[in-house]
Amino acid sequence: MMDSSQRDSFFGGPSRISTSNQVWSKYHALDGGNIIREQNHDDLKSFGSSTDNEERLQKAAEFGMIAGKLYITFKSSRIGIGNIALSGFWMEEDFFVTCGHFFGEDVSLFWREKAMKDLKIYGSDAEAYVSSSIIAKTQENSSSRRVLFLGRKMPWDVAMFYVPDEEKVIKGSSNTRSCQFSDLEALSSPPPQSPIPVWTVAYCASDSEADQTLRVNFRSNDMGYHEFVVRQKPYFTRYQLLAAKHQDSYKQKFANSGDRPPEFDVLYLPNTRALAVGEFHTSMERDVKTYEKDIPAFPGQAVDRDEDNYANTGALCGKHTISGFHGSSGAPIARLKECDNGMVGSPAIIGLFRGSADNFAFNTYTAFTPEILQWMNELMTKCSAEGKRPANYPMVNSSLAA
């Protein structure tokens, strides 16, 4: 089982493609379904064999155009809640899927519940937008679409938004690419081999944004080295601290290499739609962390809790070697199915980027399970029944076996 003391952060850190080599997983800009390759892209060469590497990368890049960056803003100040930016992906044209951890752990349950209720109302105090631009520094751009909150299961760390009719009237039809519900793959049995190549497309935040968040939410305990950050190295940026922490964890494995992670902008391409590759490992654990259901509100304040946010079991978390940072949470973790004839198969999303594990030797993802897909299907069906979306969504109950 994984509890809160075993997880270093909710956004991950730099990682090597494989624990047996020294190639770092880096982000590469994705423009129109094509990867903009930097001079040094050894990491991309590890995505499959030498004979099918280019085909795999092209399929991953084209599929990766479903990615988007979610902004959540508040018209008036709220205690402990600032503007929020996460990664995610479009599905069935009008639905957006992302992670469930929107708020810092020091934000009271009262304000969390209030914010989520406001996000369901068009024109309320809270607003959410999704940008699908290659460069997304702010929510104000031509590709931004207003979305409303549809539902969240925090123990599973997954949430969904949708484009309301009001936004369609204002913006008209969208050219944003999306996947089908059938492209989601539930883990109903152990994967056939380990490790297997996986990739993500995310919008990582800039180092200055993450550093500011760290100082504002100084009470948050989402990082295992929190006291070290505040008391000993207050002048370091968050990425510098992540890199130092990561390097310490590799001293025994790479004692003579003196290797360091790449510079921040080289590794992450902040505020840019970018693709990164890595490996998926079969080790899976249930997260038994305590969530909002057990966090008290302000003394004397009643909370109208939305019980749909809660589940009886925690997320099923798997490990991967794709680098991550603040803002990458919620990005799709995907793989390519293998065909019986040896050909490269179709893409499948197996979960969402979650956080870090094992002192940044790996990062983690929330695996899609049959329970999660059933919950998502029910949300979309309910949305259709209320006249927000006409559709029939078939259930998916597959495994990582191709």
- Over the stretch 157-166, which tens digit does the pLDDT of each residue have? 899 999 998 8
Confirm if 164 and 146 have CB atoms less than 8 A apart: yes
**Strand pairing class (34-35; 67-74):** unpaired
**Mean pLDDT across the stretch 93-108?**
84
Residue 270 lies in a domain: yes
Confirm if 81 and 115 have CB atoms less than 8 A apart: yes
Instruction: Quickly state the pLDDT bin for 106 (edges 50, 70, 90).
Output: low
The count of structural domains within the chain is: 1
Confirm if 13 and 7 have CB atoms less than 8 A apart: no
Q: Tell me, what's the pLDDT at 353?
A: 95
* Higher pLDDT among residues 111 and 235, named by residue: 111
**Mean pLDDT across the stretch 216-243?**
53
Confirm if 205 and 327 have CB atoms less than 8 A apart: yes
Residue 349 lies in a domain: yes
Containing structural domain, residue 54: 4-385
Is the pLDDT confidence value at 206 over 70?
yes
Q: How confident is the model over 281-337, as pLDDT tens digits?
A: 767 777 765 455 544 445 455 555 666 666 667 788 888 999 999 899 999 999 998
Q: Within 10 A of 101 (CB to CB), how many other CB atoms are there?
A: 23
What's the one-letter identity of residue 261? P
Residue 125 lies in a domain: yes
Most confidently predicted of 36-50, 66-80, 203-217: 66-80
Helix (H, G, I), strand (E, B) or coil at 385: helix
Residue 401 lies in a domain: no
Q: Tell me, what's the pLDDT at 346?
A: 92
What's the one-letter identity of residue 216? V
Residue 166 lies in a domain: yes
Residue 219 lies in a domain: yes
Helix (H, G, I), strand (E, B) or coil at 379: helix
Residue 395 lies in a domain: no
Please give the helix or strand (H or E) that residue 166 lies within, else none: helix 165-171
Give yes or no for a cis peptide into 195 (omega within 30° of 0): yes
**Mean pLDDT across the stretch 22-42?**
86
Helix intervals (H) in 205-321 = 207-216, 226-227, 238-249, 264-268
DSSP 342: S
Residue 24 lies in a domain: yes
Residue 386 CA to residue 380 CA, distance in Å, equals: 10
